[in-house]
Structure 1
Amino acid sequence: MSNYIMSNYYLKLFYVLLLLFLPAAESILGFNNTAEIKCIERERQALLNFKHGLVGARDMLSTWRDDEKNRDCCKWKGIQCDHQTGHVTILRLRGSDTQYLSGAVNITSLFPLQNIQHLDLSNNYFIGSHIPELMSSLTNLRYLNLFCSFFGGSIPTQLGSLTCLRYLDLSNNNLDGKIPSQLGNLSQLRHLGLSGNSFSGALPFQVGNLPYLQTLTLGGDFDVKPKDACRLVV
């Protein structure tokens, strides 16, 4: 009987000690999931650098501030981070009739955001700007939306290296020239928007043969100014 009592005593003692030391062990071993994940400093600085070249950022990017109360870029407007790593994965800066961005799109400042998968710069006013060739450096992009943002010039052939893209919308800009055959390298693409521009020549067969492409927009009245066309978008 005494052996049974002693065994029961030690068993209870073991459980008490386990409950006392478990939180410390979780923290040491990295099992504590209650800790808040904050953004990575170099990515925060990259976003602030990106903001510097933009006009109209006071309203749309009002939360992007370099002060003690707003240091966590994962809580900034238009930003989403991975829950576990803190890396920025989504940058959604879609404009509207009352708020939009203009100025220089400095893609080089976003190079530290190598985990970004979703970039939306649609419905802004980047008139006089070309789509940056260095956009191709964001190799993990799955979603790229430049719809109705007044980009001019031709489509950079370098976009063909964004082989993870599922969604690409370049519609309703001021783009011209030929549609590059390199877009045929986007083998995972489901949506491709090209309408509302002034392209010349035929659609490259490489683009028409994309295996997973479900939506391809090419039509539209090219005589309509992009600004007028954008007003029709809800």
Structure 2
Amino acid sequence: NLSFVDVCFSSTTVPKVLANHILGSQTISVSGCLTQLYFLCVFADMDNFLLAVMAYDRFVAICHPLHYTTKMNHQLCALLDVGSWVVASLNALLHTLLMARLSFCGDNIIPHFFCDATPLLKLSCSDTHLNQLMILTVAGLILLSPFVCILVSYILIACAVLRVSSPRGGWKAFSTCGSHLAVVCLFYGTIIAEYFNPSSSHSAGRDLAGAVMYTVVTPMLNPFIYSLRNRDMKGALRKVLTMKFPSKQ
């Protein structure tokens, strides 16, 4: 699911950017803009939810290994998966419909390479207080709840690892969580830097750089980060590094 969401997340923005660059056009229709906003919200929320579900999965695997197969059964996995898609779709629909009711005026130029909620609100001539309230409450709750779940899971995992007397056992537990933890830091780090900074510190270049990080770079790096746990991948990477940097005799 995470791989599918990452592919769709990048596909929501990158093809349109490339088409604009090749054709020399920088336009998008209102319906196309709202459609892009909807799918961006869906896949961003899904990334958020799936990282939380994966954190819970690792918590059960490390803290309750003997009960793992009974707790993380197929029914629970399917329920978490379907529930994540439903909540993400409803949240995206809410923000898209609220954006569709606004009227826009002026040059209608977005200082961005895709239709994000914040740049669109700045173009509106209508009252945007309801939109901003929904972003702060609903979107904020949807973002913070999985983050708190991840934080609590890793605190409990850390306590369990510290109780392990064998260094090998502790390292094995860390290697189980290492890839997921790297993806979590990358995803939430860019999101926090992009949306939770004071508005006075925002600049067009900085906003664009942050947007590129979480819409293009992070989804692209996720498969590589998770592949580092694969022995064949490690062996191939070791051979490449050995060829480029041969050891001195």
Superposition TM-score, scaled by structure 2 size: 0.21
* Relative contact order higher in (CA < 8 Å, ≥ 6 apart): 2
Structure number with bigger Rg = 1
Superposition TM-score, scaled by structure 1 size: 0.22
Greater helix content: 2
Greater strand content: 1
